[in-house]
Amino acid sequence: MASFTPTPVDSIASTVTRLDAAFGTLKSHPLSFRLEQLGRLYWGLRDNEQALYDALAADIGKPVFETFMTEFAWPLSDIVNVMENLKTWAADEPITDVPWTTKLVNRPVMRKDPMGTILIIGASNFPVQLTISPLVGAIAGGNAAVVKPSELTPRSSALIAKIVEDVLDSEFYAVVNGGVDVTTKLLELKFDKIVYTGSTYVGKIVATAAAKHLTPCILELGGLNPVFVTKSADVKTAAKRIAWGKVHNAGQICLGPDYVLIHPSLEREFVESFKNALKIYLPNGAQASPDYGKIVNDRNFNRIKKLLDNSSGTVLCGGSVDESTRFIEPTLVKVTNSSDSLLSEEIFGPVIPMMVVGKVDEMVLLAKRLGDTPLAMYIFSADKLEQEKILKSVRSGGVSINDVILHASNSYIPFGGVGESGHGKYRGRDTFDSFVHRRPILSQPLWVEGQLSIRYPPYTPKKLAAYKRFVAHPAVKFGRDGKHLPQSLWLWAFLLGSSNKKGGVFRYLLVVLAGVLWARKFLPGAKA
């Protein structure tokens, strides 16, 4: 197993300078270089599959199945998808929604240019996926990249460093390992984009540091993710799927279900179904199960335990903890007060509070009060009107209906937050688009110089009149009150159903042309 070696802080600036210089050579621009690096990364992961299982088991007790699903198969799928589509995504796109004169004369296109050197700061809950997937985007975009894995998962971070150093071009890609001092030093330096996945608190620190250099960021943060279980929901299925969301990765998922708002008529059946689901998932109990992980470190263990200890709610199932192994049992708690400790912050663990709420409107108001821009929102309802009401009323980064984590479980679909849960997206095509600068390019032919003379000083009334004719505004279809002006029936008929005079003239010409063609074909002597 690779050993974790912190990077000397005084070497970081020279590493970034080296990558910046390499990017300036333009060597990373050709698609052939990018595809080669992506292919090498693919095989670097494939060749270290067992090492991934071992590292993640040692770091956070992650089961092999979960590691394969989220940390191995996922980034491999990302790489293959990007490689298959890169030529199409990277091609210049004609800009078509412009006047026909601009399209004909200036031939506008949108080019996708590499941005420069990217900083990727990974997370501890999915140490490989949330580090490698942004790296895939950085490579696909033709950039250089510095990767900073989480220090909370040292064996996984060491393995990432080994893979990157073994298979990728060291001129363009480097891994920097270490703690807060290393991250602090990195954030002092100028990058062309920063990707950070983690807490909202640290996200604000990253954004503040980036602002000093006007560096754009992708921030994948968190928040209190609500679960709505309305009166029309299939309560057994809802309980089964919500329980899985708390067992998976021991609840350490930034978009995991954080609290349940449930209709009173479903409470009893939900609780029983939740308990039954846990018995099926963990038949010998969570602590003895090889399919259940542990909390990543002592600090997070103590934070979750404190939230549970300070709650005034009633524990309906679970509740046991073991500090020596950082074990917290999947726990369902009924709370009656929105100020309960379990509703004060993102839990990021296997504890979920449940609150009984009678009306959808009350659920919405409560969810907005607890946090109006969560990373995820989950709606269990069979009523389309209920679904739509909640969707319109509560903002979130993404939504799954009648499931949890679904919208973020597909590597082809963009994923990101809104407001305090972050901004920017990657995955799917956004894995490429988020790591390039879309640069519009227009070409002005020399032969139009005569027509351009009106833009040059000295400005005269004649030039102004000519320019006004050139940019004449089309007739509008709304009044000064902003409301639509209905077209009179006789004008509509006179213009052959067109909404303007130009369209009417064009339609008359088509009618005349059709008449001539008909006459030439069917009337005797018309061809003469």
Kindly provide the residue ranges of all beta strands, DSSP E only, lying in 188-324, ordered along the sequence. Answer: 193-197, 217-220, 226-229, 259-262, 314-317, 321-322
CB 236 within 8 A of CB 269: yes
Rounded to 5 degrees, what angle do the CA atoms 137, 46, 149 make? 50
Which structure tokens are listed for 244? 């899985």
Give the integer Cα–Cα distance in Å for 447 and 442. 15
Name the residue with tokens 């990707």: 195
**Catalytic residue IDs:** 220, 254
Give the integer Cα–Cα distance in Å for 379 and 397. 14
CB 343 within 8 A of CB 224: yes
**Strand 398-401 with 376-380, pairing:** parallel
Question: Which residue type, as a one-letter code, is found at position 474?
Answer: P
268, 269, 270, 275: CA torsion to nearest 10: 100
Rounded to 5 degrees, what angle do the CA atoms 140, 146, 149 make? 105
3-state secondary structure (DSSP) of residue 113 = strand
3-state secondary structure (DSSP) of residue 114 = strand
Which structure tokens are listed for 282? 């963990």
DSSP state, 290?
Answer: T
CB 147 within 8 A of CB 122: yes
Phi-psi region of 249 (alpha: psi -120 to 50; beta: other; left: phi over 0): left
CB 418 within 8 A of CB 398: no
**Residue 238, CA atoms < 13 Å, CB-side half-sphere:** 28
What residues contact 446, with CB distance under 8 A and at least 6 apart? none
How many residues in the chain?
528
CB 335 within 8 A of CB 343: yes
Q: Would you tell me how many other CB atoms lie within 10 Å of the CB of residue 340?
A: 18
What does 388-457 look like in DSSP terms, one character per residue?
Answer: HHHHHHS--SEEEESSSSGGGS-TTS-EE--GGGEE-EESTTHHHHTTEEEEEE----GGGTTGGGGGSS
Give the integer Cα–Cα distance in Å for 31 and 69. 29
Question: Which residue type, as a one-letter code, is found at position 115?
Answer: M
What is the crossing angle of helices 129-140 and 73-90, to 10°? 20
Which structure tokens are listed for 279? 């018995």
